[in-house]
Chains A and B, each alone.
Chain A
């Protein structure tokens, strides 16, 4: 699904990440952890080609990232659901339209029944907030809405960047459970977090692996929980 071979990335002359070599297999569950500023978000951005490696090679769904055209990157992203830490919604649209946005922009809106959309909104527990605008939502509601938007296209890979960063513990567990459910449906899940309690909680629910970034490198790739 995603293959990195000695991949590197740097915002300036100094590389932030280097020597990244790993394979994210279909249906696997990964935690990406490390101190703030270690490069967790950068790693995720490399996974969905928001950033392109400055060294080495990254293959996404069999396509070399640096060889992808703009349209190629857009097509790749239709197979990846991303949950950002700050969620990134269109504030002028109601929640329902924000969640359906991936369908709208790929002109697949007509393929999904309204009932399915409502079912998805219900699954993340936001039925009562369907017509609210994003600025009117709480942190937890925004995270759940972002998760719903991330999976509406039935993606093969879900990348979540600090999905529990702005929510309380109960909401964190609820979001974790949603992601575990998706993994059980065959989705590959990568969660970037520095919340070790969340990783421990996941141990009881799913077989996950931890990728720890330190000093610009993944130092414990493949370590079981």
Chain B
């Protein structure tokens, strides 16, 4: 019943031992088809997890080192408060650069919503100052206090209000992807266990004959384990191949923030799904081995 011996036996193979247990068309097809389907789903779960990871990283990194100050003041005070804010920023540790957006810049920012002909001078549009932080960052609370004293119309927006929940959501989506992968492996184990138990029960007479002629339970179990492991490996390889093909022909990600079009692998990420077939085989090996020894213990 040694695991090492069973693993060696599995890898070595034994064509004569394989013939001892009759082939059952139904359980073979069931194991192959289910393993393929599970592997196909696993590829998507993995792609979802990786895409979510990339998105979370992007949302965490994007604007992570930038902030905006919005100055809403009467037109007469706007210029003075802008200079006051820029002066404060120059003296604040952790600020790499600060730049007041020109009218043209602001026009360009608003153009997608209001069109290119927006009369900016006629509207009470706040002045925007774009801040780039150093890697150490700055003390946001301290800056807010100083801005309140020097430029009462200035409001600091460090983007964390909307960036943090989005990054958190993407991070949880990544965890859900991996959880789905674990559940798929669990379902594969359950399916293989049921199929193996059915095969063992259907072959009770074969087992009786094998025991009669001196076969050890480890030999009988290995005959079933090898068969189910090979089926799971073959099915998963086919399912993974089809899954990868399906991912490859998905529309490419034009909008980098879009999760649906970003559902893909990138770079060496394409290699990750290759672990699904051996993982399925290992799951089938373990599940069948446990089921086989449990069933054999129960058989007279």
Contacts and interface: CB of A to CB of B under 8 A. Distances in A.
A182 interface: no
Interface stretch (B38-46, B212-220, B280-288): B212-220
Nearest to B9: A107
B209 A90 contact: yes
Interface in A70-105: 70-71, 73-75, 77-78, 82, 84, 88-90, 92-93, 97, 101-102, 104-105
Contacts of B26: none
A153 interface: yes
Contact of B214 (A74, A97, A109): A74
A109 B22 CA distance: 19
Given A88-B212, A90-B209, A74 B19 contact: no
A78 B14 CA distance: 20
Contacts of A30: none
B213 A102 contact: yes
Interface in B216-250: 216-219
Interface string A175-199: 0000000000000000000000000
A70 B216 contact: yes
B87 to A, nearest CB: 87
Given A105-B215, A106-B214, A90 B16 contact: no
Contact of A105 (B205, B210, B296, B300): B210
B29 interface: no
Contacts, number: 60
A82 B205 CA distance: 16
Contacts of A105: 17, 20, 210, 213-216, 219
Contact of A90 (B22, B219, B300): B22
A170 B114 CA distance: 109
B5 to A, nearest CB: 12
Given A88-B208, A90-B22, A92-B22, A109 B213 contact: no
A104 B211 CA distance: 12
B217 A71 contact: yes
A101 B216 contact: no
A212 interface: no
Contacts of B156: none
A102 B206 CA distance: 13
A84 B209 CA distance: 10
Contacts of A90: 20, 22, 206, 209
Contacts of B208: 88
A95 to B, nearest CB: 14
Given A89-B209, A90-B209, A101-B209, A77 B214 contact: yes
B184 to A, nearest CB: 34
- The interface size bin for chain A is 20 to 34
Contact of B213 (A71, A92, A149): A149
A8 to B, nearest CB: 19
Interface in B183-215: 205-206, 208-215
B293 to A, nearest CB: 10
A71 B14 CA distance: 20
A50 B210 CA distance: 12
Nearest to B215: A105
Contact of A77 (B14, B213, B219): B213
Nearest to B209: A88
Contacts of A73: 211
A216 to B, nearest CB: 22
A104 B17 CA distance: 7
Nearest to A75: B214
A74 B22 contact: no
Report which residue of A75, A89, A97, A104 has the largest number of chain B beta carbons within 10 angstroms of its beta carbon. A104
A119 to B, nearest CB: 20
Contacts of A84: 212
A75 B212 CA distance: 11
A97 B218 CA distance: 21
Interface string A45-71: 000001000000000000000000011
12 contacts: A70-B217, A70-B296, A73-B211, A74-B216, A74-B217, A77-B212, A82-B212, A84-B212, A93-B19, A93-B20, A106-B215, A149-B213
The 10 closest A-B pairs by CB, nearest first: A105-B215, A78-B214, A77-B214, A102-B213, A92-B22, A74-B216, A88-B209, A104-B16, A101-B213, A70-B217
Given A77-B214, A89-B209, A105-B219, 16 more contacts: A71-B218, A73-B211, A74-B215, A77-B211, A77-B212, A84-B212, A88-B212, A90-B209, A92-B22, A102-B214, A105-B17, A105-B214, A106-B214, A106-B215, A107-B219, A109-B16
